[in-house]
């Protein structure tokens, strides 16, 4: 019991450390730039604490249940070498992990509210989860067969750009944001461990070039499927919108205890796919019992409580902070401080991103020291900062997101064609892990707040998309760095 308490406190400190860059940037702007405090400061502070507690419980639950069992299953299936089992396991892990992704839950709820029920939050999450499951299965097949990743990414993003051209403007930003938030606190460790474990266990595979890339594929495919969903949704009449709004409004008037019970039931529903996946493959496929079922069951309980606290904290803390900062900054003359806030939030939060630290360490190990994890972190942080700033400029200028996104990914495709092969998979994966469970809600609220504060902007069309920009530009900075260093190295060799 003492060990669990100490581990929880460690996770809580970890969560608070991830929140610190956001708090520091917000305090700096409130004290130095705005010189005022919002009216609901106490509620926001309590919300941030609840978010930290929720993340700590969630992480602790993952460490006790999902992570050890998932890694154990990945290793056992890799040793077995059965292609049908590996493909089905990849699909199941991808699907079940994304359904329970906190950042996707937050974005889906915001989309349903802003679209007035036309976009259904649960439908959106199931669609994204199915897409990720299918593409993780495809990525497992790629690793086993040994196909190079860059052809998958070039063809895939050309398809993304083509679909974007035909997609309605109401869905484009949301679709790209949905791709950006699929790889996060739950998905990245499981999916990365599966890819690297497979590459390490197959003779002739390189963990750096063949092990990475599953995360990148998991980011790309939901962008296509969600835009296709938007084409379908916005091609017909919004007959169900009022009905869904009434149901949501009615739920808000339910007694608090009943509302809490319903919210907890939703959290159980969110985590249930992961539990079913693990139990099915453990008991039915491998025909082995769990090593410590009580500990794993307790871990799942912590995951559910953590998700519940996280969602409550979002509504109290992070969403209001992003909206409040957007409103206050837009009330000032000019947009200089809006751009500065976007850049600082992007850089500060990315430097503290735990998934980025983990991927950086894995890349250093896989590359045998030829890649510097610290340099990678700075490059990615600069990319995220630039991306969010460009996204904010798009909202302020009122430009169509179509052209920005299409130009961004065409640039990525061009860089992919000329970048050194060793960096391609890693660069795409880094673009997918830059937005944390803390950053995504704040950035989403910032975009929605800006779109709400500027006359003539449509919140659904203009409010989403910042996360997409935060995913594109790290790929650009990392690949550009690799191209430059490779060119300089080749010149030195010629000169000597």
**Maximum separation of any 2 CA atoms in the chain, in Å:** 78
Instruction: Give me 118's structure tokens.
Output: 């036309």
User: Alpha-carbon distance 159 to 372, whole Å?
Assistant: 33
pLDDT values of the chain reduced to their tens digit, one per residue, 496 residues: 676 788 778 778 877 777 777 788 888 888 888 887 767 778 778 888 888 888 788 778 877 877 677 667 766 776 776 788 888 888 887 888 787 776 777 778 878 888 888 888 888 889 998 998 898 888 888 877 878 777 887 888 888 888 988 888 888 888 877 777 776 555 666 676 667 667 776 777 766 667 667 777 777 888 889 999 989 888 765 444 343 333 333 434 445 666 667 767 777 776 777 778 878 888 888 888 777 888 888 888 888 888 788 778 877 776 777 777 777 888 887 788 889 988 988 888 777 665 666 566 666 666 666 677 778 888 988 999 999 999 999 999 988 888 888 888 889 889 988 988 878 878 887 877 666 566 677 777 788 888 888 888 888 788 888 888 888 899 999 999 889 888 888 888 887 7
433, 480, 448, 437: which is closest to 213 by C-alpha? 433
**Count of CB atoms situated within 10 Å of the CB of 406:** 18
**Count of CB atoms situated within 10 Å of the CB of 24:** 12
* Continuous H helices in 234-372: 241-252, 256-279, 293-313, 319-330, 336-351, 354-366
- How far separated are the first and last CA of the chain, in Å rounded? 63
What are the DSSP calls for 404-425, one per residue? HHHHHHHHHHHHHHHS-HHHHH
pTM given for the model: 0.70
Q: Three-state DSSP class for 35?
A: coil
- 356 touches 21 (CB < 8 A): no
Residues 6+ apart with CB under 8 A from 235: none
């Amino acid at each position: 019991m003492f060990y669990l308490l100490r581990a929880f406190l460690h996770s809580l400190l970890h969560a608070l450390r991830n929140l610190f860059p956001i708090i520091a940037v917000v305090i700096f702007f409130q004290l130095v730039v705005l010189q005022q405090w919002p009216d609901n400061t106490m509620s926001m502070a309590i919300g941030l604490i609840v978010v930290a507690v929720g993340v700590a419980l969630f992480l602790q639950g993952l460490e006790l249940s999902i992570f050890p069992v998932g890694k154990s299953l990945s290793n056992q299936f890799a040793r077995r070498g059965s292609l049908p089992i590996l493909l089905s396991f990849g699909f199941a892990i991808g699907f079940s992990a994304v359904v329970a992704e906190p950042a996707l839950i937050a974005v889906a709820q915001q989309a349903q509210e802003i679209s007035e029920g036309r976009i259904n939050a649960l439908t959106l999450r199931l669609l994204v989860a199915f897409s990720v499951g299918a593409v993780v299965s495809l990525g497992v097949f790629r690793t086993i067969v040994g196909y190079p990743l860059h052809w998958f990414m070039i063809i895939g993003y050309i398809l993304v750009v083509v679909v974007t051209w035909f997609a309605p403007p109401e869905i484009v930003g949301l679709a790209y944001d949905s791709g950006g938030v699929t790889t996060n606190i739950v998905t990245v460790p499981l999916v990365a461990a599966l890819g690297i474990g497979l590459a390490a266990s197959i003779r002739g595979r390189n963990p750096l070039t063949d092990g990475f890339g599953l995360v990148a594929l998991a980011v790309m495919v939901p962008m296509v499927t969600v835009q296709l969903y938007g084409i379908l949704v916005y091609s017909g009449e919004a007959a169900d919108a009022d009905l869904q709004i009434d149901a949501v409004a009615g739920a808000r008037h339910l007694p608090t205890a009943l509302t809490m019970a319903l919210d907890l039931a939703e959290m159980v529903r969110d985590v249930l796919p992961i539990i079913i996946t693990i139990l099915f493959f453990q008991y039915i496929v491998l025909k082995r019992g769990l090593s410590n079922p009580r500990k794993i069951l307790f871990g799942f309980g912590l995951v559910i409580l953590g998700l519940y606290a996280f969602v409550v904290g979002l509504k109290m803390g992070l969403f209001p902070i992003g909206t409040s900062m957007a409103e206050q900054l837009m009330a000032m003359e000019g947009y200089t401080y809006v751009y500065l806030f976007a850049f600082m939030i992007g850089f500060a939060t990315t430097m503290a991103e735990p998934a980025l630290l983990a991927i950086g360490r894995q890349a250093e190990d896989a590359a045998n020291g030829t890649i510097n994890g610290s340099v990678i972190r700075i490059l990615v942080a600069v990319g995220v900062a630039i991306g969010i700033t460009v996204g904010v400029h798009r909202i302020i200028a009122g430009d169509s997101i179509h052209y920005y996104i299409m130009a961004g990914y065409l640039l990525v495709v061009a860089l992919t064609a000329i970048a050194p092969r060793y960096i391609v998979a890693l660069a795409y994966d880094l673009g997918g892990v830059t937005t944390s469970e803390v950053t995504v809600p704040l950035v989403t609220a910032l975009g929605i707040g800006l779109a709400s504060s500027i006359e003539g902007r449509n919140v659904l069309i203009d409010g989403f998309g910042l996360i997409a920009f935060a995913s594109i530009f790290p790929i650009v900075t990392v690949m550009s760095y690799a191209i430059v260093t490779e060119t300089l190295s080749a010149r030195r060799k010629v000169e000597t």
